[in-house]
Amino acid sequence: MTKRVFDLIVLGSGGAGLSAALAAAGEGMSVCLLEKGPHIGGGTATSYGTIWAPANRLAAQAGLDDDVAQGMAYAQFCAGGTALDTNLATYVNHASRVMDRLMSWGVGLELAIGLPDAFYPHGPGSCGDGRRMIQATPIQRSAMGEWAEALRPAHYCPPGVSWGDVARWGGFANRRNWDAQELARREKEGWLAAGQGLVAQLLVAFLKMGGHLQLNAGATELVFSEQRVGGVRIPSTDSTFEARHGVVLACGGYEGNAELVQRFEGLPNWLNPFAPTNQGDGMVMATEHGAAIYRSAVNHGLLVGCAIPTRENEFFSIGLHGMPYPGAIAVNQQGERFCDESRFQEVVHAFHHFDRVKHRFINLPAHMVFDDRYRQLYAIAGAPPGQAAPDWVAQAPTLEALSIKIGVDATGLLKTVERFNQFATDGEDLDFGRGQSAFSKSTAGDANKGKYAQLGPLDTPPYYAIPLRVGGIVGTGLLTNEHAQVMHVRGHPIAGLYACGNTAAPTDTGVGYQGGASIGSGVIFGCLAAEHAAHARH
Ligand SMILES: Cc1cc2nc3c(=O)[nH]c(=O)nc-3n(C[C@H](O)[C@H](O)[C@H](O)COP(=O)(O)OP(=O)(O)OC[C@H]3O[C@@H](n4cnc5c(N)ncnc54)[C@H](O)[C@@H]3O)c2cc1C
C-alpha cells in the first residue's frame, strides 16, 4: 500500500474541486486533487461555464451598478423560501470576494455582457444585461502543458466560444450566421472558452501554485484519525492519501447512478448530462459516517435533453438547443402539446404531471417533432445546420407515418399540428403562451425571426421526431453549513470533512435555478471550504 500526505485532499476536478484546490494552495497548503476519471473538468468542462456573482468588482469597474441587497432579493425570489437562510446569504455575501481572490491567483475572468438574469427576469432585484454573469477569459489549451489532452471534451459551444459570445452573436439558433472564419481561427489556435475555459483557467492557476493532480484516482472510503476525517483510500490503486487538515468532497452528484436517481429524482426518463464517473461517491462515503443529506422540495435544476446513440447515448441539451426554435414542438403519447416548449423549465415541470386516473406520468414518453424547414435552418443535436438528419432521428414523409413510427396517436398529432400551425401563422400561442416569457424572449428561439422567434409552422415534409429525456443538477446532496462543512445527522459538523458543488445539497439556491448559480455555488463554497480548513489549522 502506498501512502502520501498532504494538508488538504480534494476529490473531483470540476469547478467546485478546482476552486477548493486552488484556494487551498493560495492559503499556502499542500494540496492533492484526485480525479476519478481520465478527464479533467467533469460536467463543468462541458457546461457554458458561467458564474452568477452579484455586486462583483468587474461590473463596478465597468460602471455598472449593482449591490448585495439587490442580489439577495433576487436570490431569495429564486429560492422561494426553500433555501437555508445562512447558506443563501453566504453565497451572495461572498460571491464578489471569491471572484477577487480567484483573479488575484491569476484566474482570468470577465463579464458575460448580454446574458441577463434570464431564468426569472420578473423577479425582484433581477438584472437585465449580464453584469452578474462572469465567465472565463479565453485561454489557449497549450497553457495546460502536459494536461492539455486530458481536458474533458465539450460540444455545446464551439472551441473558444463563450456563452457571452453566443449571446452577442444572436444566440445558438443563429449559428448558421456566425463568422465561420473566426470560428476556424479560434479552433486552429487552440482557444478554450465557456466551461472548458473556466476549467483550464482554474487548473493552470492551481498548477502554477504547485498543486498536485492525479487522474484515474477515484476515492471510495474516508479514513478517520482522532475523531476527524484524516484522508481517503483508493482501493483500485491500493493507496491512501492522508490529509492533515481535511478532505473536500467535490465529486459532483449521483447523476450517473441509476439507483440513486430513482431513489431521489423520481422521473423515469433520466439521462446523465455530466461525466459517467458522477456516481454519488461523495454522498455514499459521507453518509457511511453519519452525514446528513438534504433534499430540495422540487428540483428545477433540470434540463430537457435527448440521447445521442452514436456517442454512447450522450446527453444533449435539446431543450435549449433546438426545441424553442420555430418549427419544433413537444408532444406526449396522445400527440398533444403540454407546455411552452421555449422554456425548458416548463417542459420539465410538465414531465412531472402524474395522471391519477390513468396512473402514469401523462406527458412521458415525449417527443420533439419538427419539419424539414427546421432541419434546413437549425443544428440538430449539435450538428452543423442544414445537414441531413442523423440516422437515429425518426423520419417519415407524413405526420401519420411518423406517429406510427414513434408510437404516438396519429389523430392527436394531426390535430395538434393543425392548431399549432394556426398559432404560428397568427404569431400567438393561445394554449401555452409560447415565447411570451421574458426568459424565452431573451434566451430562447431564433432572434432573426422577430415576432416569430419561437413560433413556426410544421408544414414542410419530411417530418422528424426525437425522444425527450430529462437530466441535470440533482436535487439531493450532503447537508453543509456556511463553511461548506458536512453536517452529521446529530447536528454538528463532521470534523475535517467538506462538500461543495453538486455533492452538497442546493441549500444556498433552493428550488430555483438561475444560470451560473450552480458553478457559482461550487466555486464559492469550494473556496470557503479551503479557507476554513486553512484557518482551522492554526
Ligand atoms: C449544457 C449545460 C450547461 C450548463 N451551464 C452552466 C452554466 O453556465 N453555469 C452554471 O452555473 N451551471 C451550468 N450547468 C450546470 C453545471 O455545469 C454543473 O452543475 C456544475 O458544473 C457541477 O460542478 P461540480 O464541480 O459539482 O461537478 P462536476 O463538474 O461534474 O465534477 C465532478 C468531478 O468529480 C469526479 N469524481 C466523482 N467521484 C469521484 C471520486 N470518488 N473521487 C474523485 N473524483 C470523483 C468526476 O469524475 C467529475 O470529474 C450546465 C449544465 C449543462 C448540462
CATH classification at residue 362: 3.90.700.10
Say yes or no to pLDDT of 221 above 70: yes
Per-residue pLDDT tens over the stretch 380-404: 887 878 889 999 999 999 999 999 9
Instruction: Please give the model's pTM, rounded to 2 decimal places.
Output: 0.96
Q: Can you give the CATH number for the domain in which 102 is found?
A: 3.50.50.60
Q: Answer yes or no: do 68 and 139 share one domain.
A: yes
**Does the beta carbon of 196 sit less than 6 angstroms from any atom of ligand 1?**
no
**Does the beta carbon of 342 sit less than 6 angstroms from any atom of ligand 1?**
no
Q: Identify the CA nearest to 45 among candidates 12, 14, 10.
A: 14
- 8 A C-beta contact, residue 43 and residue 14: yes
- Please identify, among 456, 471, 486, the residue that sits at the C-terminal boundary of a domain: 471
Q: Answer yes or no: do 204 and 331 share one domain.
A: no
Q: Answer yes or no: do 467 and 485 share one domain.
A: no
Q: Identify the CA nearest to 245 among candidates 222, 228, 223, 221.
A: 228
Say yes or no to pLDDT of 329 above 90: yes
Q: Answer yes or no: do 206 and 315 share one domain.
A: no
Q: Answer yes or no: do 514 and 465 share one domain.
A: no
**What was the pLDDT predicted at 297?**
81
Confidence of residue 118 (pLDDT cuts 50, 70, 90): low
Atom of ligand 1 nearest to the CA of 39: 49
Does 230 fall in a domain? no
**Does the beta carbon of 274 sit less than 6 angstroms from any atom of ligand 1?**
yes
Calpha distance 12→219 (Å, rounded): 10
Per-residue pLDDT tens over the stretch 453-483: 999 999 999 999 999 999 999 999 999 999 9
Calpha distance 480→304 (Å, rounded): 28
> What percentage of the chain has pLDDT greater than the value 70?
99
**What was the pLDDT predicted at 420?**
98
Atom of ligand 1 nearest to the CA of 518: 11
**Which of 114-123, 330-339, 354-363, 438-447 tops mean pLDDT?**
330-339
Say yes or no to pLDDT of 29 above 70: yes
Average pLDDT on 361-371 reads: 97
Measured by CA distance, the residue closest to atom 1 of ligand 1 is 47
Helices 410-426 and 399-406: crossing angle, nearest 10°? 130
Chain-centre distance of CA 516, in angstroms?
8
Give the residue numbers spanning the domain of 449. 302-471
Per-residue pLDDT tens over the stretch 141-163: 999 999 999 999 998 899 999 99
**Does the beta carbon of 151 sit less than 6 angstroms from any atom of ligand 1?**
no
- Please identify, among 471, 497, 513, the residue that sits at the C-terminal boundary of a domain: 471
Q: How far is the CA of 194 from the centre of ligand 1 (A)?
A: 13
| Overall domain count for the chain | 2
Q: What is the CA radius of gyration of the chain?
A: 23
Calpha distance 485→37 (Å, rounded): 25
**What was the pLDDT predicted at 444?**
85
Q: How far is the CA of 177 from the centre of ligand 1 (A)?
A: 30
Q: How far is the CA of 244 from the centre of ligand 1 (A)?
A: 26
Average pLDDT on 413-433 reads: 97
Measured by CA distance, the residue closest to atom 4 of ligand 1 is 47
**What was the pLDDT predicted at 186?**
98
Say yes or no to pLDDT of 490 above 80: yes
Measured by CA distance, the residue closest to atom 13 of ligand 1 is 47
Residue of 10, 34, 48 to test ligand 1 pocket, by largest number of atoms within 8 Å of CB: 48
Q: Answer yes or no: do 359 and 484 share one domain.
A: no
**Does the beta carbon of 513 sit less than 6 angstroms from any atom of ligand 1?**
no
Atom of ligand 1 nearest to the CA of 315: 53
**What H or E segment, with its residue span, contains residue 33?**
strand 31-34
Q: How far is the CA of 65 from the centre of ligand 1 (A)?
A: 31
Atom of ligand 1 nearest to the CA of 281: 41
**What H or E segment, with its residue span, contains residue 264?**
helix 258-264
Confidence of residue 442 (pLDDT cuts 50, 70, 90): confident
**What was the pLDDT predicted at 437?**
83
> What percentage of the chain has pLDDT greater than the value 90?
82
Which ranges of 117-168 does DSSP label H, i.e. alpha helix?
Answer: 163-168
Mean pLDDT value across the chain: 94
Per-residue pLDDT tens over the stretch 239-287: 999 999 999 999 999 999 999 999 999 888 999 999 999 999 999 999 9
Atom of ligand 1 nearest to the CA of 303: 53
Q: Answer yes or no: do 335 and 441 share one domain.
A: yes
